[in-house]
Amino acid sequence: MGKPISIDTSRRELIRATSGLGGLAAAQGFGAVVGMSVAPAMAQSLQLSSLRSTSRSWIWGAEDFAIDAKYFDRSGLKVTMAATERGVNHDALVGGAADILLGAPQQNMRVQILGQPVVIIAGMVNKFASNIVVRKSILDKLGVDEKSSVEKRGAALKGLRLGHTGPGSAPDQLLRHFLKIGGADPNKDAKLVTIRGVPAMVAAMEKDQIDGFCLSSPTSDQAVKRAGAAYLFNMSINPPPGFDDFLYITASVTEATLKKKEAELIAYVKGTALALKAIHDDPKTFKAMSRVWFQAVDDELFEIAFQNNIGIYMKDPTPTQHHFNVNLKFMNDALVEAGQKPAPADYSYDKAFNLSIVKRALG
C-alpha cells in the first residue's frame, strides 16, 4: 500500500507539471492546438464563475486542468469554481449564482423542456462516469460480479440501501436505470438515500448505513479499498452497451449569460479545448497535476483511479447528434418511469445545444 502523498511531494509534482506544460507549448505552439489562435498570457480582464456538485472528482478534470495549467489565462480569463455538494443545481444557475454549470446534460434537458432559458454550450466527458459499487459480501452471496450480465447486475441492486447525491441527479437516474433493467421497481424495491458530501458517502458504507452507492472516482475507488465494496458497474472503463460514447459532463449557461458574456464564454471554451487536447497528447503532465488535486489519496489508490479515468475525456468540446440521441433516450426512459411525459416530439439537438460559442472558439 502506498503512503499518502505529502505536501512537499505535491509541490514538486506541480512544479514538474508546470514544466511539462511549458515543454508541450514549445513543442507544439499553443496557436497550433485545435487549430485556434491563442494570444500570449495577458492581464486577466475577463472573469467567469463555475458551479459543480462536488469539489474534486475526475469528472471535473478538464476544467481543473484548464485552471491550474493556466489555459484560461492565455485568453485573459479568470475562472472561479464553487461546489454545492448536491446533485441538481439548475436553480442556482437560473438564479444567477454562477455563470456556468457543469453537470449531466439530461438535467439541463429536463429543465429545457419545461421552458427554462438554459443551453448547453460545450462537452467535457463522454463516459457516464458515475460508478456503482456494492458491498462485496452481498455480491459474493448473490454470485454476481462486474462480468455478470447487465440484467443480473441490475437485479442485484434489489432490496439494497443505495446512496446518491439527490433526487434527479445523474447517480440517482443511473441507479434507477439499472434497477429497472434488473426487473425491479426503483420506487419500491430499493431504498435510495440522498447523502450530501463526498466523504460522507464512503463513511456511510463503513458505518453500515448503506449497502452501496453511485458516484464518480475517486470516491468509488475509495469504497472498494476502504469499505469492503466491489464494482458492480465501472462505467469509466467497462461501460455497458449504449454507454461507450455517452456525453456526461457539459457546460451549461443561461440564455442571458450567452448574450452578455460572449467573449468570456469563447475564452472558456478555448481553454477547455486546450486542456482536453493536452490530456490526450500529454497524459503524464495531466497525471502529475491531478496528483496534486488528490494529495490525500495514497499512491496505490491514485494510480488505480488515474487508470480508471484517463479515458473519460472528449478530444474536443463539441457535442454531437449521437450525444443528444443517447441522452434523450436516457432522459425519456427516466421520465416515463417516473410517470411523467417524455420530451416533446419537436425537441431536437439544435434546441438542446447552442454551438455558436464552441464553433467560434475552435474556428
Q: Measured between alpha carbons, how far is 222 from 201 in angstroms, rounded to an integer?
A: 10
The reported pLDDT for the residue numbered 5 is 32
- Top-confidence residue, 1 or 144: 144
Using an 8 Å Cβ cutoff, are 190 and 183 in contact? no
Query: Cell triple for residue 80?
Result: 472561479
161 secondary structure, DSSP code: E
| Backbone φ and ψ of 144, nearest 5° | -120, 140
pLDDT of 292 over the 60 cut: yes
Q: Which pLDDT tens digit goes with each residue over 67-93?
A: 999 999 998 999 999 998 887 888 899
Domain 7-127+245-362 has CATH 3.40.640.10: no
pLDDT of 284 over the 70 cut: yes
Ranges in the chain annotated CATH 3.40.190.10 = 7-127+245-362, 131-233
Q: Measured between alpha carbons, how far is 321 from 332 in angstroms, rounded to an integer?
A: 16
Half-sphere CA count of 78, side-chain side, radius 13 A: 7
- Contact partners, residue 29, CB within 8 Å, separation at least 6: none
Q: Residue 339: is it exposed, middle or buried by C-beta count within 10 angstroms (0-12/13-18/19+)?
A: exposed
For helices 262-281 and 7-28, give the axis angle rounded to 10 degrees. 100
Using an 8 Å Cβ cutoff, are 321 and 302 in contact? no
Q: How do 191-194 and 161-164 pair as beta strands?
A: parallel
Q: Cα–Cα–Cα angle for 232, 276, 197, nearest 5°? A: 45
Q: Average per-residue pLDDT in the chain?
A: 88
Using an 8 Å Cβ cutoff, are 309 and 345 in contact? no
CA 336 to chain centre: 25
pLDDT of 259 over the 50 cut: yes
Considering just the CA atoms, what is the radius of gyration of the chain in Å? 20
212 secondary structure, DSSP code: E
Q: Which pLDDT tens digit goes with each residue over 192-229?
A: 999 987 789 999 999 999 999 999 888 999 999 989 99
Cis bond before residue 218 (omega within 30° of 0): yes
Query: Cell triple for residue 38?
Result: 491563442
**DSSP codes joined into one string, 300-352:** HHHHHHHHHHTT-B-SSS---HHHHHHHHHHHHHHHHHTT-----TT--HHHH
Q: Measured between alpha carbons, how far is 122 from 273 in angstroms, rounded to an integer?
A: 9
Q: Which pLDDT tens digit goes with each residue over 312-350?
A: 999 999 999 999 999 999 999 989 988 899 999 999 999
The reported pLDDT for the residue numbered 85 is 82
| Backbone φ and ψ of 221, nearest 5° | -65, -40
Q: Which pLDDT tens digit goes with each residue over 10-38?
A: 344 443 444 444 434 333 333 333 334 34
The reported pLDDT for the residue numbered 44 is 58
Q: Which pLDDT tens digit goes with each residue over 129-186?
A: 999 999 999 999 999 999 999 999 999 999 999 999 888 888 999 999 999 999 999 9
What CATH architecture is 131-233? 3-Layer(aba) Sandwich (3.40)
Query: Cell triple for residue 358?
Result: 464552441
Q: How do 77-83 and 100-103 pair as beta strands?
A: unpaired
Q: Which pLDDT tens digit goes with each residue over 244-253?
A: 999 999 999 9
The reported pLDDT for the residue numbered 3 is 37
Reported pTM: 0.84
